Amino acid sequence: MKKCFGIIGLMIWAWGVRAQVLTLKIDVRRAAQTIENIGASGCWYSEPIGRYWPATKKKQMAKWLFSRGFDSAGDPAGIGLSAWRFNIGGGTAEQGDSSGIDKVWRRAECFLSPDGTYDWSKQAGYLWFVHQAYAYGVEKLIAFCNTPPVSMTKNGFGYKTEKDYRSNLRDDRYGAYAGFLATVLDHFDSIGLPFSYISPVNEPQWAWSDKPGSADQEGSPWRNEEIHGIVATLDSALTAHRLPTKILVTEAGQLNYLYGGSGGTSRQVQDFFGDGDLSLRRYSHMGQMIGAHSYFSEAGDSNLINIRRRVADTTTKYGVNYWETEYSMLADGWREGTKGGRSAMDCALFLAKVIHHDLTVGHATAWEFWNAYEPGRPDSNTRYFLIALKPNAGFTDGDYYATKGLWALGNFSRWIRPGMRRLIVGRSDGKDDLAAAQDVMVSAYGSVQPGRMVIVAINYTTQERVIYLDQLNGRRHFTVKSYVTSEKAGDNLRFYPVSGRQWRLPPRSVVTYVVD
């Protein structure tokens, strides 16, 4: 890489009329973190879509999510995710209405039957998408659990019925839960679906308690000592099954739980990667990363940036990588002070802003969206999903639409591949992260393919800009391709040829420049 690139000067201009010059310096000798994956989850609605929807429709959804191909116009056919998250269900679907979860498709089947045998025909819809991901060459398959199997929980439900912030797993079933997870992973490994990671707990800080009949989904809290207990037991089970799968923790419900707070569910980096009794470093299957969710951490640019700085400072100090493992716009930060609805492009730009800051300020080595598809409109308030669904009453068919958010995520996921290094970008205008968050945000990545660099630019303004590339390792001749997601109807990672050294950056857009 050092032979391919030197210091790169970029200048942002107003189109046609010279404006204030911003020179951005990118030195490939000053690399930051290595990117491990960019992905999404296929929870809940994978089951009815994969099981019942017509093949042409679900195949198109899979193509949008996983393909790295191009159409005849040179536009990407999909966003080329490099990770796909699969939910191992807890058995609330088999319980039916007695599960107490009021939304049918938020109940999940369990591979483990009441008689102790395994039924591998379960979760067929979920697995249809897992097979598609693997067939498209998605690099990392990640399994995660919201609850242990209901046969192992304290109350027989897939969620808590008392608000005590303790795990719903029975004290005498830690070994059984670990054995269940290892058996499931071993089965899929044997049929050619290897999972790189297993996440045994999810958002352990939340109470996950409700009255039967009004519960929202499967879930369980976990205190830090309980997480340590299941990791220790799972490590032994994975070793016994001779599996290479790594354990991913903790899927913290908010980023601040990684470094701050008090009580038994906070300061998780310090507890799990420090030198104390709860340290997980001793376990051979423990991955050297910690996962957290970016929900509720983006209300205002200062808040968004400062929280991620704390994450980066803490994870760097303890020598562990930060993975952002779930995000959608659950709180009101996405409104950015406005009221009423927000357009699909508003949501896409805000999504790109969060991704940008998780990568550049939080130093995330992985970034994963929450639910790839959910019921909703494709033209406004598309904050929960990448693909909008309009299902029929039984969820056996329906319409589906790609949102601008899908393609904005694709500006990152399609070209920032596993193994690429984020490169340090210097600005001559003196704007820090906070000032740039309402202007133009730029990040750059050195490719594992020699001679290639990827630049992602987010134009948050209503003015068109131009990026000017001055030189590349002393050379003034190189090839550039741009892929644009903007308010324009057809700009969904649309390919635009680039000539010369002035690169168009449309207003309110996310643009990826591939430099060879």
CATH of the domain at 460: 2.60.40.1180
Contact between 369 and 386 (Cβ < 8 Å): yes
One domain for residues 120 and 99: yes
Q: Which helix (H) or strand (E) holds 227?
A: helix 224-240
For 256-297, the pLDDT digits (tens) are 999 998 889 999 999 999 999 999 999 999 999 999 999 999
Burial code (b: 16+ CB inside 10 Å, e: under 16) for 131-158 equals ebbbebebbbbbbbbbbbbbbbbbebbb
Q: So what's the pLDDT on residue 54?
A: 98
Contact between 345 and 508 (Cβ < 8 Å): yes
Beta-ladder partners of 422: 445
Q: Which of 418, 450, 476 is the last residue of a domain?
A: 418
Please tell me whether residue 491 adopts helix, strand or coil conformation: coil
Residues 6+ apart with CB under 8 A from 389: 45, 49, 373, 374, 375, 376, 398, 399, 400
One domain for residues 172 and 199: yes
One domain for residues 456 and 474: yes
For 359-377, the pLDDT digits (tens) are 999 999 999 999 999 999 9
Which token pair is 42? Answer: 């296929």
Residues 6+ apart with CB under 8 A from 262: none
One domain for residues 359 and 400: yes
One domain for residues 366 and 471: no
Residues 6+ apart with CB under 8 A from 410: 76, 78, 79, 80, 485, 493
Contact between 248 and 199 (Cβ < 8 Å): yes
Any domain includes 269: yes
Q: So what's the pLDDT on residue 470?
A: 61
Q: So what's the pLDDT on residue 160?
A: 98
Which token pair is 92? Answer: 């609330």
Report the chain's terminal Cα–Cα distance, integer Å: 12
One domain for residues 17 and 70: no
0.75 exceeded by pTM: yes
Contact between 152 and 169 (Cβ < 8 Å): yes
Distances (CA, A) of 13 to 18, 19, 429, 485: 6, 5, 13, 20
Q: Which of 362, 386, 418 is the last residue of a domain?
A: 418
Q: So what's the pLDDT on residue 431?
A: 87
Closest residue by Cα to residue 344 from 222, 214, 492: 492
Which token pair is 334? Answer: 């996405």
Contact between 379 and 348 (Cβ < 8 Å): no
Closest residue by Cα to residue 470 from 411, 418, 515: 515
Any domain includes 1: no
**Cα-flanking dihedrals φ and ψ of residue 494, to 5°?**
-70, 135
Please tell me whether residue 231 adopts helix, strand or coil conformation: helix
Question: How far apart (Å, rounded) are the C-alpha atoms in residues 67 and 78?
Answer: 5
One domain for residues 407 and 436: no
Q: Which of 398, 418, 438 is the last residue of a domain?
A: 418
One domain for residues 499 and 375: no
For residue 33, give the amino acid letter.
Q
Q: So what's the pLDDT on residue 468?
A: 74
Which token pair is 431? Answer: 């704007």
One domain for residues 467 and 361: no
Can you give the residue range of the structural domain that contains 314? 37-418
One domain for residues 215 and 358: yes
- Number of domains comprising the chain: 2
Any domain includes 134: yes
Gyration radius of the chain over CA positions: 23
Sheet with 398-402, strands from edge to edge, namely: 373-375, 387-391, 398-402
Please tell me whether residue 24 adopts helix, strand or coil conformation: strand
Closest residue by Cα to residue 354 from 331, 382, 374, 334: 334
Strands (E) in 89-244, as ranges, are 140-144, 197-199
One domain for residues 49 and 26: no
Distances (CA, A) of 290 to 9, 167, 270, 272, 412: 35, 20, 11, 9, 21
For 32-91, where are the alpha helices, taking DSSP H only?
A: 46-52, 55-66
Which residues of the chain carry a pLDDT beneath 50? 1-8, 12-20
One domain for residues 178 and 281: yes
SS (H, E, C) 404-462: HHHHHHHHHHCCCCCCCEEEEEEECCCCCHHHHCCCEEEEEEECCCCCCEEEEEEECCC
Q: Which helix (H) or strand (E) holds 135?
A: helix 124-135
**The CATH number of the domain where 373 resides is what?**
3.20.20.80
Any domain includes 23: yes
